[in-house]
Amino acid sequence: MKNIWLYILVSAGVSYLIRATPLVLIRREITSRTLRSFLYYVPYVTLSVMTFPAILEATQSPLAGALALCTGAVLAWRGKSLLWVAASCCLVVFVAELALV
């Protein structure tokens, strides 16, 4: 049981260092356009990298996930609300899995 507290302490320390290091090392405004652009897109890329595999693997058939992904992308591109996109993707998965299974 003592080891779990050590693991929690090390995990907390590493998490703190990851967040505190940029605040300590970078004291002035970042002027590089390339670096600013890179840092701007990091949250979007991270979310995409975590979400994309889950879309394809959450269904019984990867084809149903791919169809839902395409449907969601087209509807979002056309400016539909998140409710419409999510509901349409769910419907596409439901129908595709009925047809494929």
Q: Cα separations (Å) of 70 from 16, 19, 34, 74?
A: 39, 36, 31, 6
| Element housing 22 (H / E) | helix 2-25
pLDDT digits (tens, 9 = 90+) for 10-69: 999 999 999 898 888 888 888 889 989 998 999 989 988 998 888 888 899 899 999 999
> pTM of this prediction?
0.61
The H-assigned helical ranges of the chain are: 2-25, 33-57, 62-77, 82-100
Report yes or no: 49 and 39 within 8 Å, Cβ to Cβ. no
Q: Are 75 and 37 in contact (CB under 8 A)?
A: no
Q: What is the pLDDT of residues 77-93, one digit of tens each?
A: 999 999 999 999 999 99
